[in-house]
Structure 1
Amino acid sequence: MSTLEIVTKEIVDLHEFFTEWFNGTADRDQLGSQFLSRLDENVVFIPPEGHILTGEMLKGGFDRDFGTNKGFRIRIRDVTIRREVGDLVMATYTEWQVGATQSERENARVTSVLMKMTSPVTWLHIQETWLPDSARDVGSFDF
């Protein structure tokens, strides 16, 4: 598999787990194996609102939010490799959400991610930014 294929699969698989988690259809004991184990111990996540979250903060939020968003769906689009340096890859993708309860019900964001191409892939840094209305207006929430 190419780097783009590996990165795309990693991103899509993780977001499929998020959908199952928030819908309450995942096994509750899979949080560690399906999500937390993918994160570097010093991971930084910056959501569109701009605050910084650590891995421990993410774990706490996910623990609280299991099954709290029954109609939630995600579609990943536009995965692009931006840089490869040794075993590090920087990629971007857009994430389209339907049925969100903690933000606009239909929302979209562009995400930059720094990953270490280990087996399994390790997420080092994630930063999300809201897509502007002009980009959202030409996209589709039909999924």
Structure 2
Amino acid sequence: MSGRPSLFSRASAEVVDLHRFFVDWFVPARADTVDFDRFEHVMGEDLGMVTPDGIVLDRAEVVDHVRSSRASCDDSFTISIEDIRPGWQSADTIVVFYVEAQLRGGKHSRRQSSAVFTTSSSAPNGVEWRHLHETWLRVPER
């Protein structure tokens, strides 16, 4: 057995790291310190996403949305990842479930997420995002 981290460990690290990227990218005081290429690099070429509102986005739409949302939150914006756990997996693919909790503009929200990852030797954590589905658990207060 090699000393390489498990597929679940690598995917879990990717979930946490990508959400740290989002916080840094969306907060104006830190946005200039972030490498957007890191985000683009881990989004698989055929990535698909279902937003919490049920909108289906392709990779280009996801990348464009994140790119255009740079520095769009106030300094109190936070994301925490909770209850991360593995789902189905094969040798090079895994489904990971997690809850994403946000504080944005003084309003709390929570979403249940499931993400599909495949191995990628060139990605920072050794995995790339292939599919993401988010469902509201707590819609942000209006």
TM-score, structure 2 normalization: 0.83
Which protein is richer in helix relative to its size? 1
Q: Give, in whole Å, the separation in 1 of the partners of 2:105 and 2:47.
A: 24
Task: Give the match for residue 114 of structure 1.
Answer: 116
Task: Give the match for residue 76 of structure 1.
Answer: 81
Q: Number of paired residues?
A: 129
Distance change >3 Å, CA 100–CA 94, structure 1 → 2? farther
Moved over 4 A (4+): none
Q: How big is each residue's C-alpha offset from its partner over 1:94-121, in whole Å with a ceiling of 9 and x where there is no partner?
A: 00001258xxx20000100010022221
TM-score, structure 1 normalization: 0.82
Q: Give, in whole Å, the separation in 1 of the partners of 2:88 and 2:105.
A: 31
Contact kept, 8 Å, 2:12 with 2:96, in 1: the verdict is no
Contact kept, 8 Å, 1:36 with 1:55, in 2: the verdict is no
Structure 1 residue matching 2:101: 3-state secondary structure:
strand
Q: Give, in whole Å, the separation in 2 of the partners of 1:130 and 1:78.
A: 15
% same residue: 27
Task: Give the match for residue 85 of structure 1.
Answer: 90
Task: Give the match for residue 58 of structure 1.
Answer: 62
Question: Structure 1: which 5+ runs fail to align?
Answer: 134-143
- Greater relative CO (CA pairs within 8 A, separation 6+): 2
- Give 1:67's match in structure 2, choosing from 71, 87, 96: 71
Distance change >3 Å, CA 6–CA 100, structure 1 → 2? farther
Q: Would you say 1:10 and 2:42 are equivalent positions?
A: no
Question: Structure 2: which 5+ runs fail to align?
Answer: none
Task: Give the match for residue 138 of structure 1.
Answer: none
- Give 1:26's match in structure 2, choosing from 28, 31, 35: 31
Q: How big is each residue's C-alpha offset from its partner over 1:60-106, in whole Å with a ceiling of 9 and x where there is no partner?
A: 212221101022100001111111112010110000001258xxx20
Distance change >3 Å, CA 108–CA 67, structure 1 → 2? same
Q: CA RMSD in A?
A: 1.9
The within-5 A match list for 1:122-141 is 122-131=128-137
